Structure 1
């Protein structure tokens, strides 16, 4: 038991060291800005394409802010991933229940909206899955919204 506790302590210490230096680099979808940021939002590096500077201060501010946000989200996601690897998914789920969903698990709102192949196509109707009765189904895990 003491060996398991020592391994966990060492894993936590290593995780703390890893998280302290975790930073991610992200390029803005328009390709005019690249930012490196930590999970705390610290900007480690920022590279602006000369073409961005010609678009005026408002555009520069918006692109830089969005790129840093994307880099910070990527660093936070990397932190969540490392925590799950080091401490297990159960701990990661507990942390998410307190701190909120990880950036890539929460509703993803891309900077550039996806291009639709057929914008005039009518929306598809989802077919209902057939309800299968299972006498061994545990009521705790039953989906009350799936049965009608």
Structure 2
């Protein structure tokens, strides 16, 4: 029994070391910003394309914020994956029950600019074709040999 506990302790210690230096690098869907972030949201690297800077401060702020969120979520997801590999799925499920669902399981949604309210029209309804009476159903249920 002792070798299993020692093995688990080594795996836990290695996991701590791996998580301490873990980062994820993500490029914004528009390709104008790349961020490397830790699971805690610490920005380790930030690269802005010159074209983004010409779009103004508000656009830069929005794109950087979205990219940091995506990079942080990717780093957190990677930490969940490493936890599952090192300690097993059961322990990863326990961690999720305490910390909440992993980012890609619960809130993964790509960055998509919201549409203005005028463009959000309700889905188009298509007329249904008229139903045709099916006379074969009655023949199936009228057969007493099939009602066992």
Partner of 2:85: 85
Partner of 1:37: 37
Measured in 2, the distance between the counterparts of 1:106 and 1:121 equals 31
Measured in 2, the distance between the counterparts of 1:86 and 1:121 equals 51
The 1:39/1:121 distance shift into structure 2, 3 A limit, reads: farther
Deviation at 1:110, TM superposition (A): 1.4
Partner of 1:100: 100
What is the DSSP-based 3-state SS (H/G/I as helix, E as strand, rest coil) of the residue aligned with 1:104? helix
More helix per residue: 1 or 2?
2
Superposition pairs of residues 117-128 of structure 1, within 5 angstroms: none
Question: What is the aligned-residue RMSD (CA, Å)?
Answer: 1.4
Deviation at 1:109, TM superposition (A): 1.9
Measured in 1, the distance between the counterparts of 2:106 and 2:4 equals 33
Partner of 2:135: none
Measured in 1, the distance between the counterparts of 2:66 and 2:82 equals 24
Measured in 1, the distance between the counterparts of 2:110 and 2:20 equals 27
Deviation at 1:34, TM superposition (A): 0.1
Greater radius of gyration (CA): 2
Structure 2 residue runs without a partner (length 5+): 114-122, 127-148
Deviation at 1:39, TM superposition (A): 0.4
Partner of 1:57: 57
Measured in 2, the distance between the counterparts of 1:77 and 1:109 equals 14
Partner of 1:131: none
Measured in 2, the distance between the counterparts of 1:120 and 1:22 equals 46
Partner of 1:68: 68
